[in-house]
A = this chain, B = another copy of it.
Amino acid sequence: MTPQGMIAVDWGTTNRRAYVIGPDGELIERFSDDQGVSSIAPGSFAAAITDLQARLGARQMLLAGMIGSNRGWIEAPYAPCPAGLPELVAGLKQVAEFNAAIVPGLRYSDAERDDVMRGEEVQLIGAVAAGLTPPDSLVCHPGTHAKWARVDNGSITAFRTVMTGELFALLKTHSILAAQMQAPATPNHSFIAGVRRSLEHRELTAELFGIRASSLLGRLADEDAGSYASGLLIGADIAAGLAFAGSFETVHLIGDPDLTALYSAALREAECENVQIDGETAFLAGICAMAECIW
């Protein structure tokens, strides 16, 4: 890495997190705001990049997430699976005039289906690079679009996306269940009941309406409805993830600690061993591993 260190940005659809990293990989400064790519007008990205460099010092930049999508600044095409650190580095889109590079997303296709990720790959590869996950592992990254991934010999060989977080937000914001779902989801008895229901019945769109009926008829308190709905959705997520996973010993949960805690509770209900890994730590490890390859 250069003596000036670098700026790393995890630039999502609705938020971004920026980090200043010193020459020895130490974290110097961090900030986050709501200037995700959907908040930046087409044509205004260069100004946003320049503004970041003015704010955080003129350093080399490594940008990950939706900033490299067709809705972002400059497209860094999806790299195909299997992909590990070398393939991510080979796919970096260099933008010399801004002293920046953009991380590619990943794509997976087989005879039946397609999948894409953009942003999570840095955390998954970073967790391997930092020894937080073994080079052969099953990883789950909860979020708006939760990812289940098989990592083999340090490369992501296949993955499966589940729209869990987005559906939860849609239901909480716009659906007939919205008024009941306002209490925060916690891994309480209602959450576990929802997880169990989804694991046993696989009828999510029917179970969801039960929230309204059970509220009207007095079986479910509104303070529990958000947790129950979260349990239903995460239970369905885990059912899909386990169907994808094949054989494994431990689920490595990487991401926001509030979310990995919910998934950990749900996985215990499914009798799956699991460990939680902080997503920010994994992100910074991935960024530094890539930076060392190019700078």
Contacts and interface: CB of A to CB of B under 8 A. Distances in A.
Interface in A113-160: 113-116, 145, 160
A95 interface: no
Interface stretch (A85-93, A206-214, A283-291): A206-214
B205 A163 contact: yes
A114 B70 CA distance: 45
A161 B209 contact: yes
A162 B206 contact: yes
Interface size of A as a range: 35 or more
Nearest to A116: B213
Given A202-B202, A239-B203, A209 B170 contact: no
A213 to B, nearest CB: 4
Contacts of A74: none
A236 B204 contact: yes
Contacts of A260: none
Interface in A213-229: 213-214, 216-217, 219
A26 interface: no
* Tally of this chain's copies: 2
Contacts of A162: 203, 205-206, 209
B205 A167 contact: yes
Given A116-B213, A170-B174, A205 B204 contact: yes
Contacts of A204: 204-205, 236
A115 B203 contact: no
A237 interface: yes
Contacts of A174: 170, 173-174
A214 B114 contact: yes
A240 B206 contact: yes
Contacts of A202: 202, 239
Contact of A209 (B163, B212, B214, B244): B163
A109 B220 CA distance: 13
7 contacts: A78-B216, A114-B216, A116-B212, A160-B206, A167-B205, A170-B170, A203-B243
Given A78-B217, A203-B239, A206-B240, 11 more contacts: A107-B213, A114-B214, A115-B210, A161-B213, A162-B205, A163-B208, A174-B174, A202-B202, A202-B239, A205-B236, A206-B237
